[in-house]
Amino acid sequence: MADNLQEQLYQNIRAALLEGRFQPGERLKIRDLAAQWGTSPMPVRAALQRLVAEGALEGEAQRSLRVPAMTRARFEQLLPVRISLEGLAVELASQRLGEAELASLQGCVVRMRQALQERNVSAYLADNSQFHLTLYQACANPVLLRLIESLWLQVGPFFNRLFTEADLSLRLNDFHEDCLKALQAGNGKAARLAMEQDLQYFGQFLLNLLSLETTQGAG
């Protein structure tokens, strides 16, 4: 029972990180999380320690841990690796997607469009995570999927920053729609290109944001 509880807590916190429900630099207090889920601190601490080992959190698991802050140097290292791995996963998945998976991806795109219209950040990020990870899971390569999810755990909390400019947020679904159309047409290379463009376009915005914050901090 204890092992099941720890696994459930781990999956819950992991999903929250993937969906950007925690902010970079945010502290996660063990007692607060235990109270939230109605459990003792011990299984929460064990779950958080697993996420520390994966690089998703940092600190000492005594009272609290922290979502790592994002720096330009770190993001510059993560972005090209993400583009390569996620693009490959999309191309592999394109030949393996069935009607159920395509319908799930279509539902995500529709809900993301609605969330953007309503400025519902949490709803958008939840479906964004579901869209990407549903697609990547269809690649049928567990090694590739583990690498992608490890990177997502590190960048997921930073996705909230995409909503700092209204004009930018209006484009957040464009490449998803292009990718879906290509997948529906069975064009894996076009789907891969759309995903790589998505990561590059918004990744460059986030890099510029980090540069601006570094400059302001130095000033």
2-66 has which fold? Arc Repressor Mutant, subunit A (1.10.10)
Q: Where are the beta strands (DSSP E) in the chain?
A: 27-29, 64-66
pLDDT tens track, the chain, 219 positions: 457 888 999 999 999 898 888 888 899 988 888 898 888 889 999 999 999 988 899 986 566 789 998 999 999 999 999 999 999 999 999 999 999 999 999 999 999 999 988 888 889 999 999 999 999 999 999 999 999 999 999 998 888 887 765 555 668 899 999 999 999 999 999 999 999 999 999 899 889 888 887 666 555
Please give the structure tokens belonging to residue 172: 């957040």
Cβ(198)–Cβ(176) under 8 Å? Answer: yes
Pick the CATH number of 72-218 from 3.20.20.70, 3.40.190.10, 1.20.120.530, 3.40.50.620: 1.20.120.530
Q: How far apart are CA 195 and CA 132, in angstroms?
A: 9
Element of type H or E holding 205: helix 188-218
* Residue spans per domain, the chain: 2-66, 72-218
CA-CA-CA-CA dihedral for 134, 122, 152, 16, to nearest 10: -100
